């Protein structure tokens, strides 16, 4: 027996050896398939198995001959029994494994004919077409694969040459080499090999994977000119390609066409459709496809579940992800890595922290490796909801895993956590770690630091951090500027001018509006409101409320109540705030959820004025009046709006009391409210 590693591997396939003699097997009269004749099970090394019919066992000489040489026990197996098919399977597995090993050697050998021939020489003479297919199918090196193809073409009589071309095209697709794939296609034609649907679907998906969806479409369109009718798989690939090209309509058209042409649309295609809808942001579309699929009696597979979960994560619908996951489990599917990843993303982004952490622990228990993206998702979630200890824990486990390195996202979340919990020196230390790991501070980090220093009252450090942004060649975004604006709400009056200079640089319109406030500049009536409205109108909707809240807070701090009211009014006009005041027959309410303290106080002020007006007009109060501050305690501070508001209401002598059964609600009765407002009015008269 040859001793080189590759020939040792191949020997069970093509050489007779002490444990099994092919010649003796071949003499047997019952039909053995070709695969078996070329193979020998590895299990034969300890237990000898024969696939003879029962009558053959009467010939002890023949069987003992081999058995004695191996000194192993002899077991007879009926060829039609499950055991025989298991054995056949094992033999095949063994041969398959060897061919895969050869594919690996071919991948790593020099892309020159001589070396490729050397590796392939170990196959011996009894090469069959299927061996060639298996080898190429398991290769990934485009250059050597083309040489392997050539080798087999020269040496084998290929009855189905298109297959060997198709598997080679797969190799080219693996290396995303559309150029070579197209060249190979031309070569096929020159040799008179007729391409089929497999050929086209492989080239089309190659183009798709090369991010050349328009090329994919081109190939799809030339398919009929080669006498091919697209089938279900080709449709599926094309649906995906159109989706990738952003051509959702064409993708759906094709789906309709496939449906009318009565192709059986299988789960993979449905998964593709769900992915397309998900990528297009049409999340109800995803769910509709899922329903349609079930209605057509197609059983969902993992791809369907995973793409649905992914879509529900993008949609920020964690509850739907939860339902789908439950469906999946009840249908007997085991979550895959992708399932867990989608769930962590869905729960993490939606701040379902307990659910996300549960999945995290489950992954750990199963020994699944998390990627840096997943760790970062968890850490960002912890930062969002203020799970400081949990974040530290996860970070430690991430480092201990040894499989992934923290990146700038990781550090960014950690700095955010430290910043939000007011740990200035820890935040600075983490920033140093980040830089030592080779990452420049990014805008997220600087945003956090500005918050951090602002909270600590270190105005000069805020300014320094602000300047660092442009030093790094970055320009402020709306969030960064918003955080800076938020710092102004916590800064003593005498320091404000330092920050307005920064604001003017970051956003001149905002700088101007704030300057009007800070300088307490008297301007013509309506000017402030006009500029503030213009400003809020042109910032993105997702920061509008934050900007408006901050501006109102600054007004309240500087005792400019009139401007605070103007801002609140703008907020209502621009729909930044909605339904602050509401009235039903039984209760009048003030809705303060998601308002900053200043905005809430301003809204209360306006409400009290409106209640007074109602009293003056002789309107009847309902039996109950209520203020809802929301019960959510702020994640990084002990007191939420409710806590702060309660003491403020006391100061005003207001008869509102927190409802024991409705967290975040302060209620009073018609009588108490009326007498309170009337006594205030009396006091005002006295004061005047």
Partner DNA sequence: CTAGGGTTAG
Residues that bind DNA (CB under 7 A): 89, 92-93, 96, 100, 130, 133-134, 137, 160, 162-163, 166-167, 170, 196-202, 205, 208, 231-237, 240, 265-266, 268-269, 271-272, 275, 301-303, 306-307, 310, 336-338, 341-342, 345, 371-374, 376-377, 407, 409-410
In degrees and rounded to multiples of 5, residue 261 shows phi and psi of -80, 10
376, 410 Cβ separation under 8 angstroms: yes
Least separation in angstroms between residue 236's CB and DNA is 3
Q: Residue 314's closest CA among 278, 286, 344, 351? A: 278
DSSP class of 334: P
Q: In terms of CB distance, is 74 or 92 closer to DNA?
A: 92
Q: How far is CA 186 from CA 153, 181, 281, 484, in A?
A: 16, 9, 39, 61
Q: Which two tokens stand for residue 576?
A: 């930044």
Q: In terms of CB distance, is 22 or 337 closer to DNA?
A: 337
When computed from its CA atoms, the radius of gyration of the chain, rounded to whole angstroms, is: 37
Q: Which two tokens stand for residue 146?
A: 């083309």
Least separation in angstroms between residue 244's CB and DNA is 9
Least separation in angstroms between residue 208's CB and DNA is 6
C-alpha–C-alpha distance, residues 688 and 152, integer Å: 105
Q: In terms of CB distance, is 167 or 488 closer to DNA?
A: 167
Least separation in angstroms between residue 79's CB and DNA is 18
Cα within 13 Å of Cα(108), Cβ side: 5
Q: In terms of CB distance, is 100 or 429 closer to DNA?
A: 100
Q: In terms of CB distance, is 25 or 233 closer to DNA?
A: 233
Q: In terms of CB distance, is 243 or 655 closer to DNA?
A: 243
Least separation in angstroms between residue 276's CB and DNA is 10
Q: In terms of CB distance, is 348 or 482 closer to DNA?
A: 348
For the chain, the straight-line distance linking the first and the last C-alpha, in angstroms and rounded, comes to 114
C-alpha–C-alpha distance, residues 20 and 291, integer Å: 55
Q: In terms of CB distance, is 340 or 528 closer to DNA?
A: 340
* Start-end of H helices in 223-367: 232-244, 248-260, 267-279, 283-295, 302-314, 318-330, 337-349, 353-365
Q: How far is CA 297 from CA 126, 201, 236, in A?
A: 46, 26, 18
Q: How far is CA 530 from CA 103, 262, 564, in A?
A: 72, 62, 14
Least separation in angstroms between residue 303's CB and DNA is 4
Least separation in angstroms between residue 297's CB and DNA is 16
**H helix or E strand, kind and range, residue 629:** none
Q: In terms of CB distance, is 271 or 601 closer to DNA?
A: 271
C-alpha–C-alpha distance, residues 423 and 314, integer Å: 32
Helix axes 232-244, 248-260, angle to 10 degrees: 170
Q: In terms of CB distance, is 439 or 666 closer to DNA?
A: 439
Helix, coil or strand: residue 194: coil
Least separation in angstroms between residue 162's CB and DNA is 6
Least separation in angstroms between residue 205's CB and DNA is 4
Least separation in angstroms between residue 367's CB and DNA is 13
Q: In terms of CB distance, is 88 or 545 closer to DNA?
A: 88
Q: In terms of CB distance, is 121 or 128 closer to DNA?
A: 128
Q: What angle do CA 192, 194, 197 make, to 5 degrees?
A: 160
For the CA atoms of 307, 309, 315, 319, the dihedral, rounded to the nearest 10 degrees, stands at 160
The strand pairing partners of 657, in sequence order, are 667
Q: How many CB atoms lie within 10 A of CB 64?
A: 11
Q: In terms of CB distance, is 207 or 611 closer to DNA?
A: 207
For the CA atoms of 428, 385, 323, 267, the dihedral, rounded to the nearest 10 degrees, stands at -20
The β-bridge relationship of strands 73-76 and 581-583 is: unpaired
For the CA atoms of 583, 585, 587, 591, the dihedral, rounded to the nearest 10 degrees, stands at -20
Least separation in angstroms between residue 537's CB and DNA is 28
C-alpha–C-alpha distance, residues 617 and 595, integer Å: 29
Least separation in angstroms between residue 170's CB and DNA is 5
Least separation in angstroms between residue 280's CB and DNA is 13
């Amino acid at each position: 027996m040859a001793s080189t590693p590759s020939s040792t591997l191949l020997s069970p396939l093509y050489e007779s050896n002490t444990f099994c003699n092919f010649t003796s097997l071949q003499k047997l009269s019952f039909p053995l398939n070709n695969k078996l004749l070329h193979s020998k099970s590895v299990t034969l090394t300890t237990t000898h198995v024969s696939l003879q019919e029962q009558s053959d066992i009467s010939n002890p000489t023949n069987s003992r001959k081999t058995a004695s040489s191996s000194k192993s026990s002899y077991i007879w197996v009926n060829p039609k029994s499950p055991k025989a098919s298991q054995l056949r399977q094992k033999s095949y597995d063994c041969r398959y494994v060897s061919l895969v090993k050869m594919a690996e050697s071919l991948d790593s050998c020099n892309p020159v004919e001589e070396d490729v021939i050397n590796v392939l020489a170990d196959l011996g003479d009894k090469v069959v077409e299927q061996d060639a297919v298996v080898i190429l199918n398991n290769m990934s090196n485009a250059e050597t694969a083309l040489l392997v193809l050539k080798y087999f073409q020269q040496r084998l009589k290929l009855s189905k040459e298109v297959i060997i071309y198709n598997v080679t095209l797969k190799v080219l697709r693996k290396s995303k080499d559309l150029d070579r794939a197209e060249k190979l296609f031309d070569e096929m034609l020159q040799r008179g090999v007729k391409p089929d649907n497999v050929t086209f679907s492989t080239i089309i998906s190659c183009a798709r994977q090369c991010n050349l969806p328009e090329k994919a479409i081109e190939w799809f369109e030339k398919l009929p000119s080669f006498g091919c009718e697209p089938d279900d798989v080709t449709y599926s690939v094309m649906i995906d390609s159109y989706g990738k090209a952003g051509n959702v309509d064409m993708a759906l058209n094709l789906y309709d066409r496939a449906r009318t042409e009565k192709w059986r649309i299988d789960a993979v295609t449905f998964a593709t459709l769900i992915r397309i809808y998900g990528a297009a942001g049409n999340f109800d579309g995803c769910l509709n496809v899922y329903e349609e699929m079930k209605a057509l009696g197609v059983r969902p597979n993992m791809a369907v579940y995973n793409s649905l979960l992914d879509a529900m994560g993008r949609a920020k619908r964690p509850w739907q992800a939860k339902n789908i996951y439950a469906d999946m489990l009840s249908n007997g599917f085991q979550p895959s890595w992708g399932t867990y990843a989608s769930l962590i993303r869905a729960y993490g982004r939606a701040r379902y922290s307990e659910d996300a952490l549960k999945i995290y622990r489950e992954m750990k228990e199963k020994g699944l490796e998390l990627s840096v993206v997943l760790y970062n998702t968890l850490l960002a979630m912890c930062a969002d909801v203020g799970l400081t200890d949990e974040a530290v824990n996860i970070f430690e486990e991430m480092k201990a895993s040894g499989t992934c390195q923290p990146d700038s996202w990781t550090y960014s979340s950690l700095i955010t956590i430290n910043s939000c919990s007011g740990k200035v020196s820890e935040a600075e230390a983490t920033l140093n770690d980040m830089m030592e790991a080779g990452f420049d501070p990014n805008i997220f980090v600087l945003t956090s630091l500005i918050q951090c220093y602002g909270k600590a009252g270190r105005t000069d450090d805020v300014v320094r951090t602000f300047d660092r942004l442009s030093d790094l060649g970055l320009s402020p975004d709306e969030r960064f500027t918003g955080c800076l604006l938020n710092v102004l709400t916590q800064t003593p009056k005498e320091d404000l001018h330092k920050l307005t200079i920064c604001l003017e640089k970051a956003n001149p319109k905002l700088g101007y509006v704030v300057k009007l406030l800070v300088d307490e500049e008297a301007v013509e009536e309506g000017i402030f409101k006009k500029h503030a409205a213009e400003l809020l109108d042109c910032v993105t909707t997702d920061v509008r409320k934050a900007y408006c809240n901050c501006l109102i807070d600054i007004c309240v701090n500087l005792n400019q109540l009139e401007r605070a009211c103007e801002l609140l009014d703008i907020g209502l006009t621009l729909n930044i705030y909605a339904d602050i005041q509401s009235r039903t027959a039984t209760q009048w309410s003030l809705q303060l959820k998601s308002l900053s303290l200043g905005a809430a106080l301003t809204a209360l002020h306006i409400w009290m004025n409106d209640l007074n007006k109602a009293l003056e007009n002789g309107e009847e109060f309902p039996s109950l009046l209520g203020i809802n501050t929301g019960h959510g305690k702020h994640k990084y501070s002990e007191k939420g709006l409710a806590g702060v508001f309660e003491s403020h209401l006391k100061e005003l002598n207001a008869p509102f009391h927190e409802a024991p059964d409705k967290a975040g609600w302060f209620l009073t009765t018609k009588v108490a409210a009326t007498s309170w407002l009337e006594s205030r009015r009396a006091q005002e008269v006295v004061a005047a």
